[in-house]
Amino acid sequence: MVFNSYTFVLFFVLLLALHNLPFSWKTKKINLLGASYLFYALWNPPFILLLWLSTVVDFYMAKLISVTEEKNRRRLWLAVSLVLNLGMLSYFKYGGFLLENFTFLMNSLGISFQAAKPDIILPVGISFYTFVTLSYTIDVYRRKFAPESSFLNFALFVTYFPHLVAGPIVRPEDLIPQFKQPRKATSEQMIWGLFLVTLGLFMKVVIADGWLSEPSDLIFSLPFPVNPLDAWSAVLAFSGQIFCDFSGYSTCAIGVSLCLGFKLPENFQYPYASIGFTDFWRRWHITLSTWLRDYLYIPLGGNRVGRFRIYINLMITMLLGGLWHGASWNFVIWGGLHGLFLCIEKMVKSWTRKQSKAVIVEEMVLQAAIIPIRSKNASNFVLALLTFVLVNITWVFFRAPNFDSAVLILLCMFGVITQAPKMLSTPDMLKIGLVTLGLVTTHWNMRNRSVKNLFKSLPWWFSGSVWAVMLILIVLTQKSTGSFIYFQF
C-alpha cells in the first residue's frame, strides 16, 4: 500500500478511528500491529513470513545475547541475527546480481558457465526493516540497552507501518519507549500531522510524479544522445524528483505517525543547501547515514585512525552505502563518487586548517587595508551551489539504467556531444526550471529552520490558504498509482 492511494486513505481513517476508541493500550498496540501487517500484506501477502521471521529471530537472539556472559556465545547469537538478516537481503536483493557477475567472471576466465536467470521478487522494504532489526541486536550486543521484554512492543517496533517500507530507519531507543505508555495525538499533533501528510503528498504527487518524472524518464530511457540543455534538464528533473519523492514519503510517514501520537525522526534537512558533502550526508537520508556511521564507519575505526585509514573507511562505507540502494554497479559508482568527494573535502579542510593559521595575520592586515571584507554568506552560497552541481553529477549514475547510459548523459551534459536532438518541450523545461529554482531557494532559506517554526510565525489564514492550495493541486494532479522510488531499494 502506498500513502498516495485511496486504499491508504480508507485504511488510515479506519485506523485513526480505532486508535481513538476507548480500548486498553495493549489492544491498541495489537490493532496497530495487525494494521501494519495488513499494510504490508496488501502488497504481497506471502512476504509477511520474511518480516515475521526477522522479527522472531532477532527478538530471541537479543534475549540470548543479553543473558549470556560468555563472549563467543554472544558472538554466535549475534552472528545468527547477522547471517539471517544479511542472508535474506543478499538473496532477495543481490542474488541475481551476484549470479550475473559470477557468470561474467567465469566467462572472462575462459570457463564456460551459464545459469538460468533467477526470477527473484524483491520484497518491499527489506533493506529498511533488516537494518532496523540489525541495529537492535547489535546495540543489545554492545550493551547499549537491555533487550525489550515485550514481544508485542518489539514486533510493533519492527513492523510499525509508517516507517516499514521506506524508512525513516528508526533506532530502538527512539521508538520502543514510545510504545510503553498510552499515546494519543493531541489536537495540535493531529492537525500538524495532517499538514505534514499533505506536504508529503504534494511533494510526491504534484512535484515528483506530476511535473518531474516524465521528462526525467524520457531522457534517461533514450538510447541516443540529446542536446546538452535537455541532458541537464533531465538530471535536474531527477534531482528534484528523488528529493520530493523520498522526502515526501518520509514527511508523510512522520505525519501519519504523529496523528497516531508517535514521533519519528527527521530524515531530510534541506540537503540541496548543503555546503560540502559532509554537510550533504547530515541532511540527506539522515537515518541511513547515521546508521552507516554507527554500524559501519565507526566499527571500521571512523576518524580515530590514521589519515589514510580514514579515507579507506569513508570509501568502504560509501561504496557499501551505494550498493545498499540497489544491485547494480551504477549504485556502487554513485556511492564511490560520494566517497571520493568526501575524501577530497576532508583533504581540503585539513590543508586549509594548516594554511589558515599561517595566513590569519596577513589576512587581517589585508582586510583592514584595501580589500573589502568578503561575505561569508555569499561564499557559502557559492559552495552550496557547487555541492549541488556535483551531487547532480552523481545522480546521473544513480538514475541511468546502466553505465553506458550514464556516460552518454554526462558527455551530453558537458557538451562533448553537441550534435544531438532536442527532446524536451518548453513547458517541461519551465516546470523543471521553476522547481529547481524553488528547491534551491527554499533549501537555502530554510537550512537552519524548520517548517513548523516557519508556519507558527505565519498568520493562520495564510497557512490555511497554502494548505488548501496544496490539497487542491494534489487532487487535480491525480497521478495516484505511482509507487515511491525508494520502494525498489
The answer to the question of residue 187 lying near other proteins (CB under 8 A) is yes
Output the smallest distance, CB 412 to other proteins, in A: 15
Stretch that binds other proteins, among 3-11, 277-285, 308-316, 351-359 (CB under 8 A): 3-11
Interface positions, 394-453, toward other proteins (CB under 8 A): 421-427, 429-431
Taking CB under 8 A as the criterion, the residue among 13, 25, 27, 45 binding other proteins is 45
Taking CB under 8 A as the criterion, the residue among 138, 140, 158, 206 binding other proteins is 206
The answer to the question of residue 488 lying near other proteins (CB under 8 A) is no
Residue with cell 560520494: 338
The answer to the question of residue 211 lying near other proteins (CB under 8 A) is yes
Instruction: Tell me how far apart the alpha carbons of residues 258 and 452 are, in angstroms, rounded to a whole number.
Output: 13
The answer to the question of residue 468 lying near other proteins (CB under 8 A) is yes
Output the smallest distance, CB 414 to other proteins, in A: 21
Q: Tell me the C-alpha to C-alpha distance, in Å, between residue 186 and each of 18, 148, 244, 270, 450.
A: 16, 27, 28, 27, 20
129 closest CA partner among 75, 95, 96, 88 = 88
Output the smallest distance, CB 126 to other proteins, in A: 16
| Angle made by CA atoms 406, 407, 411, in degrees to the nearest 5 | 120
Output the smallest distance, CB 482 to other proteins, in A: 11
Q: What is the DSSP letter of 210?
A: I
Coarse DSSP helix, strand, coil percentages of the chain, rounded to the nearest 5 percent = 75, 0, 25
The phi and psi torsions of 119 (rounded to 5 degrees) equal -100, 80
Instruction: Tell me how far apart the alpha carbons of residues 466 and 456 are, in angstroms, rounded to a whole number.
Output: 13
Backbone φ/ψ region at 5: left (φ over 0), alpha (ψ -120 to 50), beta: beta
Q: Which amino acid is at 113?
A: F
The answer to the question of residue 192 lying near other proteins (CB under 8 A) is yes
Interface positions, 448-467, toward other proteins (CB under 8 A): 455-461, 463-465, 467
Q: DSSP states of 140-158 as a string?
A: HHTTSSPPPS-HHHHHHHH
- 3-state DSSP assignment of residue 22: coil
- 3-state DSSP assignment of residue 70: coil
Q: Tell me the C-alpha to C-alpha distance, in Å, between residue 429 and each of 65, 149, 203, 215, 425.
A: 57, 56, 18, 8, 6
Output the smallest distance, CB 162 to other proteins, in A: 16
Taking CB under 8 A as the criterion, the residue among 56, 99, 152, 191 binding other proteins is 191
The answer to the question of residue 10 lying near other proteins (CB under 8 A) is yes
The answer to the question of residue 6 lying near other proteins (CB under 8 A) is yes
* Marked catalytic residue, from 163, 325, 338, 443: 325
Instruction: Tell me how far apart the alpha carbons of residues 260 and 123 are, in angstroms, rounded to a whole number.
Output: 26
The phi and psi torsions of 423 (rounded to 5 degrees) equal -120, -30
Cα Rg of the chain (Å, integer): 24
The answer to the question of residue 144 lying near other proteins (CB under 8 A) is no
Is residue 325 part of the annotated active site? The answer reads yes
The phi and psi torsions of 314 (rounded to 5 degrees) equal -60, -45
244-283 mask for other proteins (x: CB under 8 A)?
Answer: ----------------------------------------
Taking CB under 8 A as the criterion, the residue among 477, 484, 486, 489 binding other proteins is 477
The answer to the question of residue 484 lying near other proteins (CB under 8 A) is no
Taking CB under 8 A as the criterion, the residue among 27, 44, 101, 303 binding other proteins is 44
The answer to the question of residue 7 lying near other proteins (CB under 8 A) is yes
Output the smallest distance, CB 39 to other proteins, in A: 8
Instruction: Tell me how far apart the alpha carbons of residues 125 and 166 are, in angstroms, rounded to a whole number.
Output: 6
Q: Which residues bind other proteins (CB under 8 A)?
A: 1-2, 5-8, 10, 41-45, 187-188, 191-192, 194-195, 206, 210-211, 421-427, 429-431, 455-461, 463-465, 467-468, 471-473, 475-481
Active-site residue set: 325
